[in-house]
Amino acid sequence: MNQPVLGRRALLRAAAVSGAGLGLAQALPAWAQPLSKGLVRPLPTVSGNDIALIIGQVSVEVDGKVSRAVGVNGTVPAPLIRLKEGQRVRLRVENTLDEESSIHWHGLLVPFQMDGVPGVSFPGIMPRSTFDYEFELNHSGTYWYHSHSAYQEEDGLYGPIVVDPAGPDPVAYDREHVLVLSDHSPLAGATIYRKLKQMGGPYFNRQRMTLSGLLAGKDLTAKERWDWAQMRMDAADIADVTGSTYTFTVNGFGPFDNWTGLFAPGERVRLRIINASAQTTFNIRIPGLPMTVVQADGLNVRPVTVDEFQIGTAETYDVVVTPQDRAYSFVSEASDRSGLGRATLAPREGMSAPVPPLRPRPLLTMKDMGMGDMGGMDHSAMGQGGMSGGSANPARARGIDPTAQQNASGELWKLTGWKETVAAAATATSMAGMDHAAMRHAPAAAPATAAPPPDHADMGHAMPSSTATGQASAPMDHGSMGMRDFANAPQVDKNPGVQTISPMPVDRMGDPGTGLDNVGHRVLTYRDLVALQRNPDVRAPSRHLDIHLTGNMERYMWSFDGVKLSEPAEPIPFRLGERVRVRLVNDTMMQHPIHLHGHFFELVTGHGAHSPRKHTVNVQPGGTATFDVTLDAKGDWAFHCHNLYHMAAGMMRVVTVRSAEGDVQ
Amino acid sequence: MGHCTLPATVAPPQPVCAPEHAAMGHCTPSTASVAEGTDLPAGTGSPPAVPTDHAADAVYGPSAMAMGRHHLALHHGGQNFSMVMLNIAEAKIREGREGYKWNGEAWYGGDLNRLVVKSEGEGEFGRKVESAEVQALYSRAIGPYFDLQTGLRYDFEPNPSRVYATLGLEGLAPGFFEVDGALFLSDRGEVRARLEGFYDQRITQELILQPRAEINFAAQSSEDIGVGAGLTNAELGIRLRYEIAREFAPYIGVQYEQAFGETRDFLRNDGESTGGWSFLAGIRTWF
């Protein structure tokens, strides 16, 4: 029962190709070795009922550069923990660091005292000491684990968990690969956070708007820039930490290392995709290969086929693909387009496929400011009308600043022979793959730098509203008063840590995510997710709760309702068994992947008793996301933004779940 | 009547809305199955009271958890940071005479409350320092962008030196202008004021043009240190820096400075220059 679900064929094939040059991969677990050496040798130490994990300092090599990291059992990412629904597991975690550590089982429903958040669920694992986690697995799916101490998650303490179902898996597949995405920096997480506190977003952002860009007629017009500057807002501030320091990794490998997973042509390959990054939102594509999403955050959803989806930090998606006899590039592009992660799916060892170029970084819009859909309606300012009906991304319409920098991964398209014309050319390396099925999907893989064909734009899952109204990027004359009017959020504490209050936040769960409007192919939105199984609790929520996501980018302060955890903030109280509708209102211009420990919640996206159940929801800038949650797990739980640096800055609360008597035991 | 709520799963009576009634606007036809789950409206209940206990105390003991909670707060918004920024550290060449100038500040503290130390001064190489001051200030954020700062300023030079009580405002003005204004009250009852501001214009991601202005005022004349009443002097400079790293940027620049009124007269009487152009070369650095 500890064996991964693999075909015999797959094992034989993998065995045949093992032993490739793996010199650089010393610090990787077997399952993450290039060419999927893990297919041959799943780690025995991380299956079964008794698992030992040793947290310690390691040295890792990413794209040829060595840096210090924190790993588990000597590897980054940490070993795959493979469990089975219904089993009871004991995980003995030894901390060999000189600082406190911890492991949180992200998405697993465990007793609160086993949840692994120091100061909330337990005291933490002191230096040079051991802690035994023990719990039962009562659900299956793709999850992950990571440190909840200091910045260890950025420093490498993260790994995947797969819980195989006790019964038959409703998802049919012949083979699987686990893809753990991260953002690796040679800087320690503590250093990154210090720089952010000292200088804020501009420290790492090398794609800002400049005078050169203005003179070249790129990005925003002078008038639009002036309007943004008057509000002391930067439309190019998509990510706090960027490819200027990050190498975006897949299973610990950089884009040039090129982790490769093998398949036999025609197989149904399940990819378990985990965003284990500290703070990066990724756009996931496999050019030429549509992905059928079958699971979100560990729980099955009705299959929905897309060409791309955005995955917020801490989310997981399982997709099934049916590749032909050719190689494919798996691309995890940072949402600010400062770099990409890349892996290869191939039928044979040593193959690679063209890697698409990084698309131009998007700019924020009025909708990201919490001004709803009203937009500026100034189509002339967009410099492009007609075809796409007004782009949400002026950087695409007018072109991006000529001095904007992307990391080395931005050169991969040249090195891999990406052709701008048709993605079908990508199959040229594998003539055997020139079948008609692949050709039919070719347009979906066309480089997104080209203007989307109108029919595709119309067909796409992009928000109808954004296609219809066209969002001008410049604020109109709303006056800056409206941007920080506490009358719009009476519960928010009035303090300097609150820079803006969204005046007209709208539900953005139907949006594909920053920069993915009108990309010319099918992009997943939360609204496309429908739970495969009926929700366990379909009662109406007994009450409604608004929580505002607040911050100040200039001071690099982040909080809920204007109160940092350290203030100290009061817990958010719930009654055991009650069902509550929670609306998250993003009063900032950044994405916030919000995670509630110990529970799944149902997204309120119009799917009634089949609402998708998640543990993390990425709330789009200036928008809202709403979920219903049944508080069925007694105890104290962490509730926080999964952007590590937002959490470190205070964007976290303790959630209490108590029976009516207030008794927790 | 509101006495009770129907179970959500109960199907509505069959002829809910006949088409002819719908056409007349008497009702809305039900489109699909009855609402359930997240399609249902939320009730109007109120939250429970905030508990005062901690769940994990019962498992791990209050003292172990208290330490954990201390660290939790510290690492989630409670940390202090520091920064030392030398915005100006330069050689200044004017009419063949070489001088120097510095202007920087350091801070330590949390998000809202900080200790700020500022220093600036200038002089000519080979001669005595012309002016040198240090301010030690308590800084308190009073809005998203501005800090109110109060404390002491001590001028080492010019002599006789003075101590000033200081009240100032520093922050980011609309348009991304960094501004700093302060009032100074000396131990001799003199009132002075200073306004300065700069703007970072990115030319590329690393090449940055920084126009900077500073003007000084005095409420009364202090002849012993060469300060006249009214507008005393002004500087207008522009510096072009190249950020080799964000923390380290060499620059070149030009500056025009001018003394006014009585201050200018004092300088003339001493045979000193009252203003003019200078060329600048320096380093902007922080850590």
pLDDT tens sequence across A427-469: 333 333 333 333 333 333 333 333 333 333 333 333 333 333 3
Looking at the complex, report in whole angstroms how far the Cα of residue A352 sits from the nearest Cα belonging to chain B: 33
pLDDT above 60 (res A549): yes
pLDDT above 70 (res B45): yes
Instruction: Name the residue facing A118 among B50, B68, B205 (closest C-beta).
Output: B68
- The radius of gyration of chain A's CA atoms, rounded to the nearest angstrom, is 23
Tell me which residue has tokens 């909840």.
A148
Please give the pLDDT value at position A467: 33
Is the Cβ pair A119, B51 closer than 8 Å?
no
Stretch A25-54: mean pLDDT, rounded?
60
Q: Specify the pTM.
A: 0.87
Q: Read off the tokens for B258.
A: 């001018």
Given pLDDT bands bounded at 50, 70 and 90, which one contains residue B9?
very low
Instruction: Name the residue facing B205 among A206, A610, A665 (closest C-beta).
Output: A206
Strands (E), A125-246: 129-136, 141-146, 158-164, 175-184
Given pLDDT bands bounded at 50, 70 and 90, which one contains residue A109?
very high
Whole-angstrom distance, CA of residue A148 vs CA of residue B36: 36
- The share of chain A scoring above pLDDT 90, in percent, equals 74
Whole-angstrom distance, CA of residue A489 vs CA of residue A561: 9
Stretch B189-204: mean pLDDT, rounded?
97
Please report which residue ranges of B147-275 form alpha helices under DSSP H.
261-269
Instruction: Name the residue facing A664 among B55, B74, B175 (closest C-beta).
Output: B55
Please give the pLDDT value at position A421: 54
Chain A / chain B CB contacts < 8 angstroms: 216
A565/B contact by beta carbon, under 8 A: yes
List A residues 387-406 in contact with B (Cβ-Cβ < 8 A): 403-405
Please give the pLDDT value at position A380: 35
Euclidean distance between the first and the last CA atom of chain A, given in angstroms as a whole number:
34
Stretch A250-269: mean pLDDT, rounded?
92
Residue burial A595-610, b: 16+ Cβ < 10 Å; e: rest: bbbbbbbbbbbebbbb
Q: Which residues of A touch B60 (CB under 8 A)?
A: 113, 122-123
Nearest chain B Cα to A569, which residue?
B73
pLDDT above 60 (res B229): yes
Quote the mean pLDDT of chain B.
90
Please give the pLDDT value at position A46: 82
Given pLDDT bands bounded at 50, 70 and 90, which one contains residue A350?
confident
Q: What is the separation of C-alpha B1 from the centre of its chain, rounded to a whole number of angstroms?
A: 58
Is the Cβ pair B55, A499 closer than 8 Å?
no
pLDDT above 80 (res A32): no
For B66-99, write each residue's pLDDT tens digit. Answer: 999 999 999 999 999 999 999 999 999 988 789 9
Amino acid at B25: G
Stretch B112-124: mean pLDDT, rounded?
96
Given pLDDT bands bounded at 50, 70 and 90, which one contains residue A562?
very high
Cis peptide before A290 (omega within 30 of 0): no
Looking at the complex, report in whole angstroms how far the Cα of residue A553 sits from the nearest Cα belonging to chain B: 9
Please give the pLDDT value at position A476: 44
Is the Cβ pair B205, A497 closer than 8 Å?
no
Euclidean distance between the first and the last CA atom of chain B, given in angstroms as a whole number:
68
For A472-511, write each residue's pLDDT tens digit. Answer: 344 444 444 488 999 999 999 999 999 999 999 999 999 9
pLDDT above 80 (res A238): yes
pLDDT above 60 (res A312): yes
Q: What is the DSSP letter of B268?
A: H
Please give the pLDDT value at position A88: 98
Please give the pLDDT value at position A28: 65
CB under 8 Å to A374, separation ≥6 — which residues? A366, A469, A504
pLDDT above 70 (res A12): no
For A644-661, write each residue's pLDDT tens digit. Answer: 999 999 999 999 999 976
- DSSP of A341-355, one letter per residue? EEEEEESSTT-----
B242, B220 Cβ separation under 8 angstroms: no
A206/B contact by beta carbon, under 8 A: yes
Q: What is the DSSP letter of A315?
A: -
Could you give the ipTM of this predicted complex?
Answer: 0.89
Q: Which residues of B touch A492 (CB under 8 A)?
A: none
Given pLDDT bands bounded at 50, 70 and 90, which one contains residue A33?
low
Please give the pLDDT value at position A392: 54
Nearest chain B Cα to A215, which residue?
B203
Amino acid at A419: K
Whole-angstrom distance, CA of residue B209 vs CA of residue B199: 8
Quote the mean pLDDT of chain A.
84
Stretch B56-63: mean pLDDT, rounded?
97
For A191-211, write each residue's pLDDT tens digit. Answer: 999 999 999 889 999 999 999
A157/B contact by beta carbon, under 8 A: no
Stretch A94-100: mean pLDDT, rounded?
97
pLDDT above 50 (res A527): yes
For A564-623, write each residue's pLDDT tens digit. Answer: 999 999 999 999 999 999 999 999 999 999 999 999 999 999 999 999 999 999 999 999
Please give the pLDDT value at position A41: 34
Query: Is A464 strand, coil or helix?
Result: helix
For A374-420, write each residue's pLDDT tens digit. Answer: 544 343 333 333 333 334 566 667 899 999 999 999 999 999 899 86
Beta bridge partners of B218: B192, B230
Tell me which residue has tokens 């990425």.
A618
State the pairing for strand pair A269-275/A175-184.
parallel
Please give the pLDDT value at position A396: 67
**A487 class by beta-carbon count within 10 Å (0-12 exposed, 13-18 middle, 19+ buried):** exposed
Whole-angstrom distance, CA of residue B36 vs CA of residue B38: 6
Cis peptide before A568 (omega within 30 of 0): yes
Is the Cβ pair B38, A606 closer than 8 Å?
yes
Query: Is A255 strand, coil or helix?
Result: coil
- DSSP of A487-534, one letter per residue? GG-TTS--STT-----SS-EE-TTS--TT-TT-SS-B--GGG--BSSP
Please give the pLDDT value at position A374: 53
Stretch B31-38: mean pLDDT, rounded?
78
**Which backbone phi and psi does A143 adopt, to 5 degrees?**
-135, -170
A461, A306 Cβ separation under 8 angstroms: yes
A499/B contact by beta carbon, under 8 A: yes
Please give the pLDDT value at position A366: 86
Beta bridge partners of B114: B109, B139
Is the Cβ pair A197, B78 closer than 8 Å?
no
For B101-117, write each residue's pLDDT tens digit. Answer: 999 999 999 999 999 99
Please give the pLDDT value at position A453: 35
Is the Cβ pair A540, B43 closer than 8 Å?
yes
Is the Cβ pair A568, B67 closer than 8 Å?
no
Given pLDDT bands bounded at 50, 70 and 90, which one contains residue B21?
low
Whole-angstrom distance, CA of residue B248 vs CA of residue A265: 53
